[in-house]
Amino acid sequence: MTRLLLRYRRGLILSSTLLLSFVLMTLQVRSQSALADLTKHILLTSVSPFLRIAAVGKAATVTLWNEYIDLRRVRLDNQLLKEETRQLRTQVGELRETALENYRLIGLLELRNRVGSEAVSAKVIGKDATNWFRTILIDRGGNEGIQRHMTVVTAEGLVGRVVDVTALAARVQLITDPESTVGVLIQRSRVAGIAAGNQEGTVQIKYLPLMADVVIGDRVVTSGMGGVFPKGIPLGRVLRSSRPTNGALFQETWVQPLTDFSRLEEVLVLRQSPANDLPWGSGERLP
């Protein structure tokens, strides 16, 4: 019994105190004696700490609950803001991609108008992944009037020629392909040669006379010889040139193509030869 009383002594003391307070307040109503006042004072003094603790605990509980609700609201707002930010970034990326595509298409449209020939714009839908052949696949074919040996260009310059055609697509051989050859001119000095691709993916001009006037930076254009490529299409600029001392008859000249084949996305297929020789003007990238 003693252990039970000790175990629950706090509850018993509080209960007894509250009961005694109730009894004394009842007596106070009936009698306003000095004993009742003294007892009331003692009880208020003893009970007030418990009441104060209870009030503080209640306030703390309310504060914690409100903070919890606010924290959940903040977390929800953060999630909504993150999702909104992700959507905005996606939209910005799409708008940027659309702007770049429009920029490229405007360049092709201006080129088409300047060429003055019947031409078809096409998108690149595939690229050859091997090192033996360098070709691309475009989304225009026989249904659009595309035929073999048609010239393919961009706003920067020459890309290559059509080598295979189906109804809905065509394969284009790039000028960097080892099997590709293009008749070219050094535009400044009018020296003629043959531009050919190689395994390194660059272009080399062959059969330039040993004493030909060639300097780094010279612009190289198609010569129109051979009947495949129209005359005057920009191909690239001379990257380096040397005169061998081992008795060779021709210079060794390498050209940097104007077209960036690693970023090729849209092209123009010339279904007829241009009406003039130099439709690209300066040959630089259109604004």
Three-state SS annotation for 115-166: HCCCEEEEEEEEECCCCCCCEEEECCCHHHCCCCCCEEECCCCEEEEEEEEC
Q: How far apart are CA 140 and CA 124, in angstroms?
A: 9
- Confidence band of 107 (pLDDT split at 50, 70, 90): low
Q: What is the pTM of this model?
A: 0.60
Q: What is the pLDDT of residue 222?
A: 92
List pLDDT tens digits, range 2-51: 555 555 555 656 566 666 655 555 655 455 555 555 555 665 565 566 55
Which CATH number fits the domain 116-270, given the four candidates 2.40.10.340, 3.40.50.2000, 2.115.10.20, 2.40.50.140? 2.40.10.340
Spatial separation of the C-alpha atoms in residues 23 and 87, rounded to whole Å:
70
- What are the structure tokens assigned to 135, written together? 């070709």
Query: What is the C-alpha separation between 97 and 51, in angstroms, rounded?
Result: 68
| 167-198 pLDDT tens trace | 999 999 999 998 899 999 999 999 999 999 88
| Exposure class string for 239-251: b at 16+ Cβ within 10 A, else e | eebeeeeeeeeeb
Determine the average pLDDT of the residues in 79-100: 69
Cross-strand bridge partners of residue 195? 182, 205
Q: What is the pLDDT of residue 119?
A: 82
Cβ-based neighbour number of residue 112 at 10 Å: 19
SS3 278: coil
List pLDDT tens digits, range 221-275.
999 887 788 888 899 999 988 887 777 788 889 999 998 888 888 898 988 765 5
Percent of the chain surpassing pLDDT 70: 60
pLDDT of the residue at 287: 32
C-alpha 285/C-alpha 239 separation (Å) is 18
CA 225 to chain centre: 42
Q: Is the pLDDT at 214 greater than 70, yes or no?
A: yes
The confidence score (pLDDT) of residue 120 equals 86
Q: 195: closest CA among 185, 186, 206?
A: 206
Residue 173: predicted pLDDT: 93
Give residues with Cβ within 8 angstroms of 112, minimum separation 6.
Answer: 119, 121, 268
What distances in angstroms separate CA 10 from CA 13, 14, 17, one per listed residue?
5, 6, 11
Check if the beta carbon of residue 204 is closer than 8 Å to that of residue 195: yes
Domain boundaries, the chain: 1-115, 116-270
